[in-house]
Amino acid sequence: MALEQALSSLHIPLTNAQTPALSVNHFFSYPGPRTRWHCSDFALRCSVDYRDQSYNQAVQYPKPAEIPWKKELCNAVHLIGVVGAPVEIRHLPSGKVLAWTRLGVKKSATDTFWISLTFWDELAQVAFQHLEKGHQIYVSGRLISDTIESDNGKAQTYYKVVVQQLNFVERSFPSTASYDRDSNTMTTGRKLGNNAANNTASIQELWQAFFANPLEWWDNRKNKKTPKYPDFKHKDTGEALWVEGRYNPPWVKSQLAILDERMGSLNSQDSGMHVTSMARDDLMPF
């Protein structure tokens, strides 16, 4: 009865009771995938295409294009931050010019990451003449690292950016005052605490900062005013370090020996050819 009503709705006349009984198989066939179902003798048509299930899997995205290898693209970084210290400059015996400072980069509303910047030759002159503490700048260049192994086998890694492009950033938010507060907090945090644990941690941070940028510190070892006068004193913050300090890490003296050897080769007039032949990234490994 239901089948007769369905056929009536399709305007199909039922002539008499002698009409053979109809079955579903009479109207439909069930072929394999990638074919269509057809209703025999009627205008009713259904379709099934199994290709739809694999369509999404067949979508192909373009392969990234290849670019030529370039040294300046290795570990390339782009940073916007605020200059945290006056730019210092040094003229090397080889004729090269080196300048350096540090950059404060906001990681969050309350956290600032500090990284050392180095400039060479003409860009070093530009940075020395035009950059001041508190300037908001954009830099791009190569991120390089130097790892120092302490006497107890622990490795200390320091990072800096060899700047290849320098631009000023228009004054906007965040204001540089927030960086100044972070810089002061960082300096205060390095001051000695009241217990040995805090002292040890603070002194280690200072030595790490020293080896990361030794030229930012005055070396007073050969002209100490008194035995208690600091061996090293930061040119900007006034922070002090003593070679025989009570809470010094065990690797300080061995790393100082390496640093003195390297700095001695830079200062030697006879090392001009040697310095020229060295890779510029290796001149100041700390």
Name the percent of the chain lying above pLDDT 90: 22
The alpha-carbon radius of gyration of the chain (Å, integer) is: 37
Report the pLDDT value the prediction gives residue 185, as an integer from 0 to 100: 42
More confident residue, 248 or 265: 248
What is the DSSP annotation of 183-225?
Answer: HHHHHHHHS--SSHHHHHHHHHHHHHHHHH-GGGEEE-TTS-S
Pairing of strands 88-91, 76-83: unpaired
Lowest mean pLDDT: which of 42-46, 160-164, 200-204, 269-273?
269-273
Pairing of strands 36-38, 232-234: unpaired
Pairing of strands 155-168, 112-120: parallel
Report the pLDDT value the prediction gives residue 155, as an integer from 0 to 100: 75
What is the pLDDT averaged over residues 183-207?
52
What is the pLDDT averaged over residues 50-77?
78
CA dihedral 169, 171, 172, 175 (to 10 degrees): 100
More confident residue, 39 or 116: 116
Alpha helix ranges (H) inside the chain: 2-9, 24-27, 51-58, 121-130, 176-190, 196-212, 252-267, 272-277, 280-283
| pTM for this predicted structure | 0.45
Interatomic CA distance for residues 237 and 184, integer angstroms: 9
Interatomic CA distance for residues 182 and 134, integer angstroms: 12
* Residues β-bridged to residue 80: 138
* Residues β-bridged to residue 227: none
Q: Judge whether residue 220 has pLDDT over 70.
A: yes
| pLDDT bucket at 9, cuts 50 / 70 / 90 | low
Q: Judge whether residue 182 has pLDDT over 50.
A: no
Lowest mean pLDDT: which of 135-139, 186-190, 244-248?
186-190
Do 98 and 90 touch, CB atoms closer than 8 A?
Answer: yes
Do 208 and 168 touch, CB atoms closer than 8 A?
Answer: no
Interatomic CA distance for residues 185 and 265, integer angstroms: 36
Show the beta-strand stretches assigned E in 49-187. 76-83, 88-91, 97-106, 112-120, 136-149, 155-168
| Domain boundaries 71-271, corresponding CATH code | 2.40.50.140
21-31: per-residue pLDDT in tens?
555 555 455 55
Report the pLDDT value the prediction gives residue 51, as an integer from 0 to 100: 54
Q: Judge whether residue 260 has pLDDT over 90.
A: no
Lowest mean pLDDT: which of 139-143, 181-185, 243-247?
181-185
Lowest mean pLDDT: which of 42-46, 55-59, 120-124, 134-138?
42-46
Do 59 and 112 touch, CB atoms closer than 8 A?
Answer: no
Interatomic CA distance for residues 175 and 5, integer angstroms: 79
Interatomic CA distance for residues 164 and 238, integer angstroms: 30
Report the pLDDT value the prediction gives residue 43, as an integer from 0 to 100: 52
- For the chain, what are the domain ranges? 71-271
Report the pLDDT value the prediction gives residue 65, as an integer from 0 to 100: 93
Name the packing angle between helices 252-267 and 196-212 (round to 10°): 20
CA dihedral 75, 78, 80, 83 (to 10 degrees): 50
140-171: per-residue pLDDT in tens?
999 988 776 666 667 777 788 999 999 999 87
What is the pLDDT averaged over residues 68-88?
89
Interatomic CA distance for residues 130 and 227, integer angstroms: 39
Lowest mean pLDDT: which of 125-129, 182-186, 223-227, 266-270?
182-186
Do 243 and 251 touch, CB atoms closer than 8 A?
Answer: no
